[in-house]
Amino acid sequence: MTAEALVLQTSPIVTTGYVMQVLISLAVVVAFIFVIAKYLLPRMQINAPGRLIKVVDRLMLEPQVSAYVLRVGKKAWLVVSSAKNVIKVDEIAEEDITVV
């Protein structure tokens, strides 16, 4: 065997410097993901508002149950939504809706 082959057999493949380099790289990547999730994503408008359907008001009744007032054109409805279903409660008269 050559001297180089003997040195490679006796030296460890994973060194402390290598482990530190991997840990620092991992920390930089996690910090980058955190900054993007915390500051950049909320500024991006992912859900564009609809042209026809407007949510006039929303009220959380329970953790997974919400009541919505939806408007389409000049008509409006009271809708209750839960994790399992959506129910139209009633149609609301136009004069009963006041948008502030």
Q: Supply the range of the domain harboring residue 13.
A: 3-43
Reported pTM:
0.49
Residue 48: inside a domain: no
Beta bridge partners of 81: 66, 86
Q: Tell whether 37 and 57 lie within a shared domain.
A: no
Domain tally for the chain?
Answer: 2
Q: Tell whether 11 and 39 lie within a shared domain.
A: yes
Q: Tell whether 9 and 36 lie within a shared domain.
A: yes
Scanning the chain, the segments in alpha helix (DSSP H) are 3-10, 16-35
Q: Tell whether 65 and 90 lie within a shared domain.
A: yes
Q: Which of 14-18, 30-34, 45-49, 58-62 has the lowest mean pLDDT?
A: 45-49
Q: Which of 48-52, 55-59, 61-65, 87-91 has the lowest mean pLDDT?
A: 48-52
Q: Tell whether 32 and 62 lie within a shared domain.
A: no
Average confidence (pLDDT) over 10-17? 76
Q: Which is more confidently placed, 63 or 41?
A: 63
pLDDT confidence band for 100 (50 / 70 / 90): very low
